[in-house]
């Protein structure tokens, strides 16, 4: 069993992001189910950090991203669940590659 970082959009890239957060969280929850069905443990900080960090507050958003990247450092692989890469996803993918963590496109 591996610890899998779920890399998927939360808000997306402005100006196309309005109203996408709720839909993207639902998608991320389904991606987590896929990871579990494959016998692994998902890590999807955007599914729970949004409950106590405000994405519209730049300081809180930065803090959430920082903590999410800290979790990524503990993972065995990063699974990317989108063909469109948001700014946040790009940072996650970049860090994974820098650390030698495999990045898998799903």
Tens digit of pLDDT at every position of the chain (106 positions): 999 999 999 875 444 455 567 888 899 999 999 999 999 999 999 998 888 888 888 999 899 999 999 999 999 999 999 998 988 899 999 999 999 999 999 9
Domain coordinates of the chain in residue numbers?
3-8+19-105
Q: For position 20, what pLDDT does the model report?
A: 63
Instruction: Report the predicted TM-score, pTM, of the whole model to 2 decimal places.
Output: 0.89
Rounded to an integer, what distance in angstroms lies between the CA atom of residue 56 and that of residue 45?
Answer: 17
How far from chain centre, in Å, is Cα 18? 18
- Helix (H), strand (E), coil (C) string for the chain: CCEEEEECCCCCCCCCCCCHHHHHHHHHHHHHHHHHHCCCEEECHHHHHHHCCCCCCHHHHHHHHHHHHHHHCCCCEEEECCCCCCHHHHHHHHHHHHHCCCEEEC
């Amino acid at each position: 069993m591996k610890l899998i970082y779920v890399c998927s959009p939360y808000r997306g890239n402005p100006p196309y992001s309005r109203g996408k957060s709720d839909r993207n969280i639902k998608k991320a929850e389904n991606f987590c189910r896929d990871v579990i069905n494959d016998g692994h443990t998902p890590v999807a900080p955007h599914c729970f950090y949004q409950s106590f960090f405000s994405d519209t507050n730049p300081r809180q958003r930065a803090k959430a991203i920082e903590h999410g990247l800290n979790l990524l450092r503990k993972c065995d692989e990063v699974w990317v669940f989108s063909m469109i890469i948001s700014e946040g996803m790009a940072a996650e993918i970049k860090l994974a590659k820098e650390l030698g963590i495999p990045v898998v496109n799903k």
